Amino acid sequence: MRSIFRSRVAGAVLVALTLVVGACGSGDDSKEGPTIVVGSTNFGEQEILGEIFATALEENGYTVERRFQLGQREIVNPALKSGEIDMMAEYTGALLNFEGGTPSTDSQQTWEDLKAAIADDGLVALDFAPAQDKDGLVVTAETAAELGVSAISDLAEYNGELVFGGPPECPEREFCLIGYQEVYGLEFADFRPLDVGGPLTVAALEGGEIDVGALFTSDGVIAAKGFVLLDDDRNLHPAQNIVPVVRQELVDAYGSEFVELMNEITAEITTAELSELNKRFGIDAEDANELAAEWLEDKGFLD
């Protein structure tokens, strides 16, 4: 997700992409139409989502080409608009912001605004997933059980008692400490400047140096460490739902069958499942294609 704090960029260029050509189905199952080039930016979650889309399309007879790890949005978005790639997983709020719009906490409204913002570029935002990759607050399982908390608003009962850790910029950001104070009425005993949802925050949580940490909601470390992601029950953070963005030419070529397949797939992607997939890819070093195939089989999309 491309939150206000995140910077997952790696100076990649198109010539450094990972290119894999997938075979389409055979016989009567093969679809007549253009090859679908599935792209991604340059971090693991994107590759996993790209593999889910590509594998499902291949299973249904579409000819697919993979172009993953292309670089940051400033590289991949122009590639999508120019037709170098045909589709990719995006994030509703981040892409809307990139296109000059203002995302809201309402997932439906943010999606509607995104569709309007990209239509003139020949792009279509298909249905968005329940899964979101955005800023969040986590506690350890032990802390959640001891305090009886499951939502951010629950922390107000412990105002003045808990230590919060997060990005150094957090005290000056409207969607971080300022927002938690204004929207939730939270007052922490102390704030510890750490990193942007990274290992310093994780270590501080595990070591008891902080009680509450700022992590990204789909981060694999949440699943790996058994952390509890607190519900943003007053909707501080703008919507960042996973959404397939495709070229209009692709929709025109394949029609409702293609759209319905993609919508059925994204409807099944949850934040908790994405965290588990990210954990298995980034921490357990499992292959994205194998994770995608297993997930699709579990959901009934593969025979």
Q: Check pLDDT > 50 for residue 24.
A: no
Q: Quote the number of domains for the chain.
A: 2
Pick from 35, 244, 246: nearest CA to 123: 246
User: Is residue 296 a contact partner of residue 59, using CB atoms and an 8 Å limit?
Assistant: yes
18 and 128 share one domain: yes
Query: Tokens representing 284?
Result: 């357990």
**Residue 303: predicted pLDDT:** 79
Residue 7 belongs to some domain of the structure: no
Q: How many residues does the chain have?
A: 303
- Quote the mean pLDDT of the chain: 91
Residue 303 belongs to some domain of the structure: no
Q: Check pLDDT > 70 for residue 22.
A: no
Residue 282 belongs to some domain of the structure: yes
Categorize the per-residue pLDDT at 41 as very low, low, confident or very high, splitting at 50, 70 and 90: very high
Among all chains, which residue has been given the structure tokens 């739902």? 241
Q: What is the CATH number of the domain that holds 20?
A: 3.40.190.10
102 and 158 share one domain: no
**Residue 146: predicted pLDDT:** 98
245 and 201 share one domain: no
100 and 243 share one domain: yes
87 and 39 share one domain: yes
User: Is residue 105 a contact partner of residue 236, using CB atoms and an 8 Å limit?
Assistant: yes
**Residue 28: predicted pLDDT:** 53
128 and 157 share one domain: no
Instruction: Give the residue numbers spanning the domain of 86.
Output: 14-132+238-298
Among all chains, which residue has been given the structure tokens 């699709």? 296
Q: Could you give the strand order of the β-sheet that contains 135-139, starting from the edge strand earlier in sequence?
A: 190-193, 163-166, 212-216, 135-139, 228-229
Residue 5 belongs to some domain of the structure: no
Residue 143 belongs to some domain of the structure: yes
120 and 23 share one domain: yes
77 and 126 share one domain: yes
From CA 204, how far away is CA 214, in angstroms rounded? 11
Residue 118 belongs to some domain of the structure: yes
Q: Point out the domain boundary residue: 229, 263, 287.
A: 229
What is the helix (H) or strand (E) element at residue 248, kind and residue range?
helix 248-266
Q: Point out the domain boundary residue: 229, 252, 271.
A: 229
Q: Check pLDDT > 70 for residue 27.
A: no
Average pLDDT (154-180) is 96
Q: What is the CATH number of the domain that holds 204?
A: 3.40.190.120
290 and 244 share one domain: yes
Q: Check pLDDT > 90 for residue 10.
A: no
Label residue 110 exposed, middle or buried (CB < 10 Å: 0-12, 13-18, 19+): buried
199 and 185 share one domain: yes
64 and 34 share one domain: yes
Average pLDDT (57-70) is 97
Among all chains, which residue has been given the structure tokens 């070229």? 247
- In sequence order, what are the residues at sequence separation of 6 or more whose Cβ sits closer than 8 angstroms to the Cβ of residue 179? 173, 236, 237
Q: Point out the domain boundary residue: 229, 250, 267.
A: 229
Residue 6 belongs to some domain of the structure: no
What is the DSSP code (8-state) at residue 170? G
Sign of CA dihedral 199, 201, 204, 205: negative
User: Is residue 77 a contact partner of residue 37, using CB atoms and an 8 Å limit?
Assistant: no
What pLDDT digit, counting tens, does each position of 76-123 carry? 999 999 999 999 999 999 999 999 999 999 999 999 999 999 999 999
Average pLDDT (34-44) is 96
85 and 156 share one domain: no
What's the gap between Cα 139 and its chain centre? 20
Predicted TM-score (pTM) of the model is 0.88
Q: Check pLDDT > 70 for residue 26.
A: no
Residue 252 belongs to some domain of the structure: yes
